Chains A and B, each alone.
Chain A
Amino acid sequence: MSTTVNIRALVVRAAGVNCERETLLALESAGAKPDLLHMQQLIDAPSRFDDYSLLVLPGGFSYGDDIAAGRVLGFEMRSFLGEALSRFVARGGYVLGVCNGFQVLVDTGLLESVSAKPSERTIALTANVSGHYECRWITLRNEPSACKWLEAGALWPTPVAHGEGRLMFKDPSALARLRENGQIALRYVARDGGAPQYPDCPNGSTEAIAGLCDRTGRVFGLMPHPERNVAPWHHPRWTRNAPRAEGEGLEFYRRLVAAAGA
């Protein structure tokens, strides 16, 4: 877990991806060596995945979120990079999808199975119960999950900024399966860790779930933006809290990079 230097991370962008700046900065601060590649460069040469141990799909509005959030980029990933992605995950690669990247990740089905067809998908991210986009800080709790690189039980603040972050499931058994597999990795909680009300849970997500992983814990998606809580003064109340050296999101990236490099 100690050799995090030179972990190569691949950050993918496409038209409308717009969180690449903070994502690259967070990865660098966490000790990784990130490259930013356009989706088309990967389609032209899928072997480029081989150079990396961590793949990051950052936030944004890929293709304007036309049809549905993340749909068209998810469709393109499925159509053009499905095999390469499956190979990448199968050989032990780590994948992180943040916000729009999470929406894309859900659409690809990678969180459910490396080979699922779109029609077999049982997880969906959809319009917030409030009916609109919302930007605010919330509190997350790491759940005991297959994601061993996260410290279970920890509470940490993170901003969210999305209009379609409500997790829904095809039926109760789909949710039960995720629970059994240890795939529920993050939940929204009240600031003191208690049961969340709106807006603690900003989108009405089922069981206040904020983040999911696959069965291995290597594919991870979340709606909040840990990369926007890296500098000491990112926190909205830093002027009234005790001085700090960094934001809590940096620890998230540090652990992810360490796990990907282990």
Chain B
Amino acid sequence: MAPHASTSVQPSRPVGAPPQAWRVEVFRRAQIDDPAGASAVAALREVGVQGVRSIRRGHGYLLSPELSPAALQGIVQRLLVDPVLEEARVTPPGDFPRRSEPSAKGANKLHRILVMRRRGVMDPTAVTIERAIARSGLGEEREVRALTFQAFEIEGELDRAHLERAAQDVLANDVVDEVYIDDDALHFEFPTAGATRVIQHVPLREANDTELERISREGQLSLSLDEMHAIQAHYRAAGREPTIAEIETLAQTWSEHCKHKTFTGIIDYDGERIDNLLKRTIKAATVELNKPWCVSVFHDNAGVIEFDAGWNVCFKVETHNHPSAIDPYGGAGTGVGGVIRDILGVGLGAKPIANTDAFFVGPADLPLEKLPKGCMHPRRILRGVVAGVRDYGNRMGIPTVNGGVWFHPRYVGNPLVYAGCVGLMPADCTDKHVAPGDAIVVVGGRTGRDGIHGATFSSLELHDESQVVSSSAVQIGDPITEKRVCDALLRARDARLYRAVTDCGAGGLSSAVGEMGADCGAEVDLELVPLKYPGLSPAEIWISEAQERMVLAVPPEKLDALLAVFRAEDCEATAIGRFNATGKLELRYRGERVGLLDMSFLHDGDPRPLRVAKRPAIDATDPGCPPCADANAATLALLRAPNIASKEWIVRQYDHEVQGMGVLKPLCGERDDGPGDAAVLQPLAHSKRGIAIGCGANPDYGLRDPYAMATAVIDEALRNVVAVGGDPARTAILDNFSWGNCKRPEQLGTLVEAARGCYAAAIAYETPFISGKDSLNNEFRTGDETISIPPTLYVSALAIVPDVSRSVSMELKRAGNALYLVGMTHAEFGGSQYFSLAGLEGGRAPRPDLALAPRTLRALHSALKDGLARACHDLSEGGLAVAAAEMAFAGELGAALDLENAPLGDFDAARVDRDTALLFSESCTRFLVEVAPEHAADFERALKGLDFARIGVVRTERRLSIARGAKSLVSLDLDALRAAHQGAFQG
């Protein structure tokens, strides 16, 4: 609890004891405007805290009391204050700060809200300050400790309840922050713990089932009774009790997060036995396709494919859902940090060259009173995760180039955050081998109590007390430490100073060392692991998921050289043990053995769960499609729909230009506001070969028909990369499943169907899966109600672009060019944006024709490769009308379309209005393509035998006109289209 919570005080009087530390508060001078303060005012008003006149935001620092006044002055003037804009208020240790006066005399009260990190939560700025002082000698040879805080000085008529709401809903996050309202006490304490208990055993052998379940629950082990039985049997046979370190290691290694037990277990699907769903569907497709350009799939930290002579590219996408629900900023940031380390840890390490991100959140306009207890508002979650991705990716110098945001009421309590990273690596760095005798070296950040039980936490469902109970699973990222790791690691790689590398992700050292040593054996002296603060038990050191750490296997003769490289980059690297040939994992602490596990039991001893799945009933209701009364209004409303509307406010906050590889950016067109289909990068300056990165997802389809959804979102990801010039014959895809609780048979049934859809589509398009991840416990419990997320499959695609100078962007280019509609339109409104707008339910979910779609993609690619298209845009949410509108306003050119000859599937004309279907149906594998008159014949030849039609022309008149014959359907000017597209939530 924050210290203020139960205290009632006079607002202007300090209540607690002041910290025994120098306090420095740095504010902008009074006459200088304060953008951070102004943003805070707006944010407070948005959550209903009225009466705020102004806010000034100051940076606060606490520094060791031993500093002399002269040394302190030096630090303030040379390091902490901008002499042009700011002034510092310095308070000696043990004193209260001088209060600043309200600007208008007697008009308003001045309140102060101070926000600082809870003890033990990462404070990267404090670390930077301590380091800068130590290096420069400003601290007069003393070890100077620092903590930082933020000070908000608020003028206005506000009561205590307002201030508490301001702190809770806007200025601080109770999970990671302490809040002081009109209270200057602060803390200047650093986490330590009492005596370390070295070795502890868990009495397991005699435990009955109730006790076993209690041990699992109270230890937050997330082990099932079957798994506890397996462990019990193992230790009965061994004739001793397990140590805490051992049982924690088993819990981490066997967690759903690490082991994918549902996907790899046994499923009884209405009597049909599925032995390893992953192997039978996703991996089966890759194995059957057997593409020679797939270099490394599924077994390393990321999938690797061939790129260009001597170079490979790799791609990984991670989910980071549960941490992001309770701390959006920290959760999303560490999600990005984690997937970057996956790329650094694939083979001998790849250079990260692009990030992707996707968010699935509740409606941005959710009324406050409808927000379930224990949840953050979707707006706050979205802003938080965007800021988290921004601050981590931008600081790492990795362009964030592709992604998406989807809104749905069922994500309110359980938002989803996906973070992806693409890497570039020399082809001869793809393999790694650990040899017995290699030193185990941990590099990067120090180990603390943060993030303990992240792997098992992510395997639990969220509930309305998750924010309070699970805060130790939440962490703040430190991107600059990771940047140091990246810089040092790639230099050490190029000098071949290590034999293998992996990242410390879920499970921390236990997973990293356990995996690397799985085929040989390993011994670790846990007291050698560098700690953020003393007092961690050996088991805590072993399973801590502190961020920004990686583990290397270093041949002994290269150890000194390796440590020197890391030292030169100011990045900590420490040998903590060695790999051996014992087949065992031995953990010691100060010479005493605290764990000894057989690698075979650790990795293969878990019982395979048997789960029951029930075939989902697909709702066959189909209301048909009545005629749209006002297609103009519908088109504008669709452009404004949250899932379609511009995400420019997000894109602009990401550095999508860093590294200078960008060929097609996320936003296209005359005013840089057209939503591009996929990003194109040119990774090697000497080669015109490129990569395209795209994605697809659709939870609304998932709710209608999970099998169809899987095929549709794969089609969407492929459409996106093909539309910009990617080669469908050289495209790899990634699967990320986020599902509800798969212990429920009907949930698991939808997962089986979606996985089977994945298999069918991958085989049909000949696009292998190279990597994937699942998160299968996404539900939120509030009171008696449990809300599951929609089945959410996020598919990413990575395509080779043969020649980046032939890339095609989505916006219209020149009046007089022809417009072609490629692909057949069916009456597919199930889960469509139009049905949602029209308030209609049911309908057939879109799905590609798997016989025809691959041919269409190949033919279109060949036309694009030959330079026959000037613009190309895929048709997705909102259908043809939305795609045409986006192309038009982005190109600042009009278009006149006539749908009379548009390829149309068979449907019941009595129940489905043909014009409405042509405008708004979301059938797959369709594109709108702009072709110059001189290329029209060649373009038509390239698509011969496929469904396509010339449906219109680009015009200078700034208007989109869509008709069928003499009947006008849509006529809207570009300004209206653009305004609608920009008209939804903009941050």
Residues A23-59 near B (CB distance < 8 A): 25-26, 38, 40, 59
> Which residues of the partner chain B approach A88 to less than 8 Å between Cβ atoms?
none
User: Is A137 in contact with B135, judged by CB distance below 8 angstroms?
Assistant: no
A106 vs B815: C-alpha distance when bound (angstroms): 48
> Which residues of the partner chain B approach A119 to less than 8 Å between Cβ atoms?
77, 83
Cβ of B610 under 8 Å from chain A: no
A66-B129, A75-B79 as given contacts; A121 in contact with B809, CB under 8 Å: no
Cβ of A172 under 8 Å from chain B: no
> Which residues of the partner chain A approach B891 to less than 8 Å between Cβ atoms?
240
A127-B35, A237-B669, A240-B811 as given contacts; A61 in contact with B394, CB under 8 Å: yes
Cβ of A231 under 8 Å from chain B: yes
A40-B568, A60-B397, A63-B128 as given contacts; A130 in contact with B35, CB under 8 Å: yes
A140-148, A211-219, A222-230, A253-261: which one contacts chain B?
A222-230
A15-B570, A135-B652, A236-B672 as given contacts; A124 in contact with B35, CB under 8 Å: no
Cβ of A21 under 8 Å from chain B: yes
User: Is A75 in contact with B132, judged by CB distance below 8 angstroms?
Assistant: yes
> Which residues of the partner chain A approach B79 to less than 8 Å between Cβ atoms?
67, 71-72, 75
User: Is A236 in contact with B480, judged by CB distance below 8 angstroms?
Assistant: no
A140 vs B160: C-alpha distance when bound (angstroms): 49
A13 vs B479: C-alpha distance when bound (angstroms): 16
User: Is A225 in contact with B125, judged by CB distance below 8 angstroms?
Assistant: no
User: Is B660 in contact with A22, judged by CB distance below 8 angstroms?
Assistant: yes
User: Is A38 in contact with B569, judged by CB distance below 8 angstroms?
Assistant: yes
Interchain CB contact (< 8 A) of A118 among B36, B77, B396, B672: B77
Chain B 74-98: CB-based contact to A (< 8 A → 1; otherwise 0): 0001111011110000000000000
Cβ of A161 under 8 Å from chain B: yes
> Which residues of the partner chain A approach B811 to less than 8 Å between Cβ atoms?
240
Residues B633-654 near A (CB distance < 8 A): 651-654
Interchain CB contact (< 8 A) of B82 among A76, A126, A228: A126
User: Is A18 in contact with B658, judged by CB distance below 8 angstroms?
Assistant: yes
A75-B79, A130-B35 as given contacts; A67 in contact with B84, CB under 8 Å: no
A59 vs B193: C-alpha distance when bound (angstroms): 41
A66-B125, A67-B125 as given contacts; A126 in contact with B653, CB under 8 Å: no
Q: How far is the CB of A168 from chain B (nearest CB, A)?
A: 6
- Residue in chain A with minimal CB distance to B810: A239
Among B38, B83, B569, find the residue whose CB has the most chain A CB atoms closer than 10 A. Answer: B83
Q: How many residues of B contact A (CB 8 A)?
A: 65
A79-B136, A126-B82 as given contacts; A239 in contact with B813, CB under 8 Å: yes
User: Is B77 in contact with A134, judged by CB distance below 8 angstroms?
Assistant: no
Cβ of A198 under 8 Å from chain B: no
A122 vs B82: C-alpha distance when bound (angstroms): 10
> Which residues of the partner chain B approach A128 to less than 8 Å between Cβ atoms?
35
A168 vs B129: C-alpha distance when bound (angstroms): 25
Cβ of B484 under 8 Å from chain A: yes
Cβ of A68 under 8 Å from chain B: yes
Interchain CB contact (< 8 A) of A19 among B78, B397, B808: B397
Cβ of B656 under 8 Å from chain A: yes
Among B135, B484, B660, find the residue whose CB has the most chain A CB atoms closer than 10 A. Answer: B660
Cβ of B456 under 8 Å from chain A: no
User: Is A228 in contact with B84, judged by CB distance below 8 angstroms?
Assistant: no
User: Is A131 in contact with B85, judged by CB distance below 8 angstroms?
Assistant: no
A116 vs B672: C-alpha distance when bound (angstroms): 42
> Which residues of the partner chain A approach B479 to less than 8 Å between Cβ atoms?
61, 64
User: Is B32 in contact with A131, judged by CB distance below 8 angstroms?
Assistant: no
Chain B 796-816: CB-based contact to A (< 8 A → 1; otherwise 0): 000000001101110101000
> Which residues of the partner chain A approach B559 to less than 8 Å between Cβ atoms?
none
A130 vs B682: C-alpha distance when bound (angstroms): 31
Interchain CB contact (< 8 A) of B84 among A121, A225, A237: A121
A133-B653, A134-B653 as given contacts; A233 in contact with B658, CB under 8 Å: no
> Which residues of the partner chain B approach A126 to less than 8 Å between Cβ atoms?
82, 85
Cβ of B390 under 8 Å from chain A: yes
Q: How far is the CB of B650 from chain A (nearest CB, A)?
A: 11
Residues A82-131 near B (CB distance < 8 A): 118-124, 126-131
Interchain CB contact (< 8 A) of A76 among B38, B135, B670: B135
Q: How many residues of A contact B (CB 8 A)?
A: 63
A75-B136, A168-B32 as given contacts; A19 in contact with B658, CB under 8 Å: yes
User: Is B78 in contact with A16, judged by CB distance below 8 angstroms?
Assistant: no
Q: How far is the CB of A115 from chain B (nearest CB, A)?
A: 16
Interchain CB contact (< 8 A) of B78 among A40, A78, A232: A78
> Which residues of the partner chain B approach A76 to less than 8 Å between Cβ atoms?
132, 135-136
User: Is A227 in contact with B660, judged by CB distance below 8 angstroms?
Assistant: yes
- Residue in chain B with minimal CB distance to A247: B660
> Which residues of the partner chain B approach A65 to less than 8 Å between Cβ atoms?
395
A71-B79, A231-B682 as given contacts; A161 in contact with B662, CB under 8 Å: no
Cβ of B655 under 8 Å from chain A: yes
A234 vs B656: C-alpha distance when bound (angstroms): 12
A25-B685, A64-B128, A170-B84 as given contacts; A136 in contact with B397, CB under 8 Å: no
A159 vs B655: C-alpha distance when bound (angstroms): 10
> Which residues of the partner chain A approach B162 to less than 8 Å between Cβ atoms?
none
Residues B324-382 near A (CB distance < 8 A): none
> Which residues of the partner chain B approach A19 to less than 8 Å between Cβ atoms?
397, 658-659
A78 vs B682: C-alpha distance when bound (angstroms): 38
A5 vs B685: C-alpha distance when bound (angstroms): 20
A236 vs B665: C-alpha distance when bound (angstroms): 7
Cβ of B59 under 8 Å from chain A: yes
A16-B483, A135-B657, A231-B682 as given contacts; A239 in contact with B652, CB under 8 Å: no
User: Is B128 in contact with A239, judged by CB distance below 8 angstroms?
Assistant: no
User: Is A66 in contact with B128, judged by CB distance below 8 angstroms?
Assistant: yes
A66 vs B483: C-alpha distance when bound (angstroms): 14
User: Is B809 in contact with A63, judged by CB distance below 8 angstroms?
Assistant: no
User: Is B670 in contact with A240, judged by CB distance below 8 angstroms?
Assistant: yes
A13 vs B665: C-alpha distance when bound (angstroms): 27
Among A61, A67, A68, A80, find the residue whose CB has the most chain B CB atoms closer than 10 A. Answer: A67
Cβ of B840 under 8 Å from chain A: no
> Which residues of the partner chain A approach B903 to less than 8 Å between Cβ atoms?
none
User: Is A21 in contact with B390, judged by CB distance below 8 angstroms?
Assistant: no
A109 vs B85: C-alpha distance when bound (angstroms): 15
- Residue in chain B with minimal CB distance to A233: B663
> Which residues of the partner chain B approach A78 to less than 8 Å between Cβ atoms?
78
A211 vs B912: C-alpha distance when bound (angstroms): 61
A19 vs B394: C-alpha distance when bound (angstroms): 11
> Which residues of the partner chain B approach A13 to less than 8 Å between Cβ atoms?
487
User: Is A127 in contact with B36, judged by CB distance below 8 angstroms?
Assistant: yes
> Which residues of the partner chain A approach B804 to less than 8 Å between Cβ atoms?
233
User: Can you report 18 A-B residue pairs in the complex whose CB atoms are below 8 A from each other?
Assistant: A16-B395, A26-B660, A38-B569, A63-B128, A64-B124, A71-B79, A72-B79, A78-B78, A120-B83, A123-B84, A131-B35, A159-B657, A161-B655, A168-B85, A232-B805, A236-B672, A239-B668, A239-B813
Given contacts A26-B660, A119-B77, A135-B652, 13 further A-B contacts (CB under 8 A): A21-B659, A65-B395, A67-B80, A72-B79, A75-B136, A79-B78, A121-B84, A124-B82, A124-B85, A131-B38, A136-B652, A228-B662, A234-B660
